[in-house]
Chain A
Amino acid sequence: MDIPRLKAIARELRVDVIRMLAEAGSGHPGGSLSAADIVTVLFFHKMRHRPAEPDWPDRDRFVLSKGHCVPILYAALAKTGYFPSEELLTLRKLNSRLQGHPDRVRFPYVEAATGSLGQGLSLALGMALALRLDKRPSRVYCMISDGESESGQVWEAALAAPKFKTDNLTVFLDYNKVQLSGHVKNIMDLDPLPEKWRAFRWHVLEIDGHDMAAIGDALREAEATTGRPTVIVAHTVKGKGVSFMEDKWEWHGKAPNREEAERAVQELLAHPV
């Protein structure tokens, strides 16, 4: 695991996110930045995928259930070579493939349309079951948010996956503690969150979601776990890497203006990796 390389990539992806959102004039920086390190480890270290053969049947799948954070996914897909980076700046514009939330028909490099929160884990579970029926080696990774964990469907899926022993399914819970209109603990307190997943019979890991080595270790442990799915509760910081966005609900769904974007980029680039 080349941690300096991964850190450098994560920084570039964060810069891409800021530039995309500033150009679009709208979008969700906070959760895109909190997810950046996990997305980096998945796409540039862990997942088996072929940018030149996007529909390779044996690829690992990544379902971004928190679909509003798709800018970080677009940035990762561009950097791995699925599509030209210049296209990133068309985000949210008329006739662009890069919808505000992922659309797999317009843009087939995402595994599923998401954005109506609470639905992605069910999709990922369905993929895991189908891939296992076909005896494929593929693993399915799903990223959910803390805010969407307030939705009942997440827990329906959480109840179902251990029944079917889908050990090819790994969930990242991007636990950044902040949602659209405030801190999660004030909107709908989820604690104790790891205990809830344990009670649902998942293999539960708890990590610092900005620690590349910890993300890599957790993924190895998930892969080695048989007979049940793994959830990695990743403690993260909303807006991570841009000081004026960190832990601020105001930056859940607001794009930086030109000046703010420039400050954010300077700060990201000044930060040693």
Chain B
Amino acid sequence: MAKASRLAFGEALARLGGEHPEVVVLDADLSKSTMTDLFARKYPERFFDLGIAEGNMVGVAAGMALAGKVPFCCSFACFVAGRFEQIRMSVGYNRANVRIVGTHAGIGIGEDGYSQMATEDIACMRSIPNMAVVQPADAVETERAVEYLVRHRGPVFLRLTRQKLEDVNPPDYRFEFGRGVILKEGGDVTLLATGGVVWEALKAAEALAARGFAARVVNIHTIKPLDEDVILDSLRRTRGIVTVEDHGIHGGMGSAVAEAAAQAGAGFVRRIGVRDFAESGDPAGLYRKYGLSAEHIVAEAEKLLR
């Protein structure tokens, strides 16, 4: 059933809080939107609202981690990942065991417009040494990822959506950190997608099938460390890769994939991502206008298939 990954995250955190007393949650006056409110109501003594002061929140989370806690440090992705200097220094350089959680990522948030849309966050976070970057594609993957991240050692950026996501994984899904998930096999072209647009990639694969092309669809839930095996394997087995993400075209998952492909001297990569400051509007309309919808994915794939 379609569910926002932020809600699946909030529910998972509230469920895991009981068996993990080391987990603490920090928010910046957005707990009713990031869904950390579900944890706050069950474990008020381990929930800290730092107010609209995300730089301090990041530092406090790092300090807690240095004293043995497992902090989830949460806000909208643009506001929390925007505190790049605090994250690189207090979290990254200290190797502080902090989970930076950014909800409302991408232009898919819709009507609030550019100021609330994170489209540079993956680029910033993946540039920090040792910082892992995880973006689940649906509710079950979010739940399993959070279960994993409670135990993970080291800093992580978890990127979540405001909008509901269709299920792309089976209910008995197992999350494997750092491993791409092949959702559909096909020998003509590979669609590598991350987050909510994995669903768009699956729709695009259906449209391509109607035109006689078999697309391989891979869900890249862990953007860093990147699963280079599945990328190089896809370049060997198909004519090329189309990457799809609700993030800027510079420095995101597509850039990471292109770097890996270029380094191996292997094959073609075409990147789909946001190329400008986006705007207010309905999510589906925004995806059409900014080139993230299934029809754009089909068009890019066809450029490789010509």
Residues of A within 8 A of B (CB): 57, 61, 63, 103-105, 111-116, 119-131, 133-134, 152-153, 156-157, 159-160, 164
Contacts and interface: CB of A to CB of B under 8 A. Distances in A.
Given A113-B89, A133-B69, A160-B51, A122 B59 contact: yes
Contact of A105 (B48, B68, B95): B95
Interface in B66-100: 66-69, 71, 85-86, 89-90, 93-95
A123 B66 contact: yes
Given A127-B63, A156-B50, A160-B53, 12 more contacts: A63-B63, A104-B94, A112-B66, A119-B86, A122-B55, A122-B63, A127-B64, A127-B66, A129-B60, A133-B24, A133-B45, A133-B46
B107 to A, nearest CB: 29
A119 B53 contact: no
B226 interface: no
Contacts of B69: 130, 133
Contacts of A131: 67
B156 interface: no
B242 interface: no
A129 B53 contact: no
A153 B59 contact: yes
B118 interface: no
Contacts of B66: 104, 111-112, 123, 126-127
B60 A152 contact: no
Given A122-B59, A123-B62, A156-B56, A130 B89 contact: no
27 contacts: A103-B93, A105-B94, A112-B94, A113-B90, A119-B86, A119-B89, A122-B56, A122-B58, A122-B90, A123-B62, A123-B63, A123-B66, A125-B56, A125-B63, A126-B59, A126-B64, A126-B67, A127-B63, A130-B24, A130-B63, A133-B45, A133-B46, A152-B55, A153-B53, A156-B51, A156-B56, A160-B56
B61 interface: yes
A124 B63 contact: yes
B86 to A, nearest CB: 6
A119 B24 contact: no
Contacts of A115: 89
A107 B89 CA distance: 16
DSSP majority for the B interface? helix
Interface residues of B, number: 30
A113 B94 contact: yes
B64 A156 contact: no
8 closest A-B pairs by beta carbon, nearest first, are A126-B63, A122-B59, A156-B56, A130-B67, A156-B53, A126-B60, A123-B63, A126-B64
A160 B68 contact: no
Interface string B255-278: 000000000000000000000000
Nearest to B98: A126
A130 B51 contact: no
Interface string B22-62: 00100000000000000000000110101101011111111
A123 B68 contact: no
B121 to A, nearest CB: 20
A134 B64 CA distance: 11
Contacts of B89: 113-116, 119
Nearest to A61: B67
